[in-house]
Homo-oligomer: A and B are copies of this chain.
Amino acid sequence: MKRTERIAVITGILMSRPNDLIPLSFFASKFSTAKSTISEDLVTIKESIHLAGKGTLDTLPGSSGGVKFLPGIGEHEAMEFLNRLADKLSSPDRMLPGGFLYITDVLFDPSIVRPLGLIFARLFRERKVDAVVTVETKGIPLALMAADALGVPTVVIRHGNKVTEGSSVSINYVSGSSKRIQAMTLAKKALAPGLRVLVIDDYIKAGGTAKGIMSLMEEFEAEVVGLGILMEEAISASVRLVDNYCALLSLVQINQAEEKTVIQANHLWKN
């Protein structure tokens, strides 16, 4: 096999197994070649993936070492994507009665949530996340794609307290916008104690749900190392029940009488 073909095959295998440590011996035996040859190929692939802005290649030396593809997205590509998404969501036909915004289709579209997951991964990878936590239903695809990019499992908190998965922990919380008392539940076996968790959700207004998740995480002795939100509603900061979150988009205005919605992409990186 020629070097060009081998490089394409290795790139294909690495990218189809994100966050998976693959020993160099795997490739060496697959191509019946020396590990040193594979090492040279990996230098080329590493530079190319970096150049394409698709993430990084981590090489771990030693007998238990190998190579791992960490998926990523460039800052410029990320901001371009978020600006296009903000435009798409600003369309007047997305207004729902009561001043709500219809974004469900977007939240379940893999071609949109995959890049969003990469953006969350870029923002939070350095925090050494053990698991991504969300609450059903609409946050699940975002959380799953972020977890996939980070190489960790997703943990989904359920509404209500009818979880039939062995012993579980339930907490009551006040949904900030509706002021109703609700319950959320997580099975004990769903999250080992003492982990570093990233909380992901689709929307934040007053932050009651986010605060509820934080309380539930305390019950699991989890350390919440990040809180990533797709869209924040612009309200007075003093009313918000949580801070220290990172939202990708801001809903600045939704005016049904004037049929006008203003959504902006937040500046996620300095420059």
Contact = CB atoms under 8 A, between A and B. Distances in A.
B102 A189 contact: yes
B5 A8 contact: no
A158 B138 CA distance: 10
Q: SS class of chain A's interface: helix, strand, loop or mixed?
A: helix
A164 interface: yes
Interface stretch (A122-130, A146-154, A199-207, A243-251): A146-154
Contacts of A16: 15, 52, 54, 71
Stoichiometry, as copies per complex, reads 2
18 contacts: A4-B4, A8-B44, A8-B45, A9-B49, A12-B49, A12-B54, A13-B52, A16-B54, A96-B164, A96-B166, A98-B164, A102-B165, A104-B187, A108-B155, A111-B148, A136-B137, A140-B144, A144-B144
Counting from the closest, the 6 A-B pairs by CB-CB distance are A8-B48, A110-B148, A108-B154, A12-B52, A11-B11, A15-B15
Interface in A1-58: 3-5, 7-9, 11-13, 15-16, 19-20, 44-45, 47-49, 51-52, 54
